[in-house]
Amino acid sequence: MKWNVCTGATFTFDQLDADVIVEHTDREYKPGYSSWRNTHNGLICEHILTDLCGYTDDARPYKDLFSPEGISVEVKSYNKNRDAEQHKKEVVATLWERKVMWKKDISNYIIFFERDDDEGVYTVDELFEWNDKENSYISVQSRKPMV
C-alpha cells in the first residue's frame, strides 16, 4: 500500500480547521464508548491525513479512513508522555482480537501518531500491516530502528 505519509513526518494543530474538528467530534462522539477528548484526539490525526495527505473519511460505523488508494486504514494516537511501546502493543492486540477471534471487518493497516498535546504537534510514529502468513500485524515502518 502507498501510505502517502512517512514515519517522522510532523504536523501541527495550526495546520487544521479547529471548528471543523470540533463539529466532527460532536458527530462521532459515542458516550460510554470513549471520552469526547479521546474522540477529538483521534479525529485530529484523521484530519491530518484527510486534509493534508489525500486520505478520505470512511463513514462506516467504527471505521476511520481510506488511503488515497481507497484502502481502509485504522488511525490511532497516544500522548508522548505515555509508554508508547506498551500502548501500541495493547492497541494492536485489541485489533487482532477483533479481527481474528471476533471475525470483525478490521483494517489491515494501522497508522500510529504520537501527540504532544501541550504543543499541538503530531508525529507519524509507526505503520503496521496485516500479515496473513503470520496471522498478525507487523510493523513496516517505524521511527524507532527495527532490530
Q: How confident is the model at residue 144 (pLDDT cuts 50, 70, 90)?
A: confident
E strands present in the chain:
10-12, 56-57, 65-66, 72-79, 109-116, 121-131, 136-142
pTM: 0.95
DSSP-based helix, strand, coil % in the chain, nearest 5? 35, 30, 40
Q: How far apart are CA 74 and CA 105, in angstroms?
A: 11
Query: Comparing C-alpha atoms, which of 49, 10, 6 is closest to residue 140?
Result: 6
Q: Which three cell numbers stand for residue 24?
A: 466532527
pLDDT in tens, 28-39: 998 998 999 999
Note the pLDDT tens digit of each residue in 63-99. 999 999 999 999 999 999 999 999 999 999 999 999 9
- Cα-only R_g, the chain: 15
What is the average per-residue pLDDT within 94-115?
96
Closest-CA residue to 73 (of 103, 37, 112): 112
Q: Which helix (H) or strand (E) holds 46?
A: helix 36-53
Q: Which amino acid makes up residue 105?
A: D
Whole-angstrom distance, CA of residue 121 vs CA of residue 15: 10
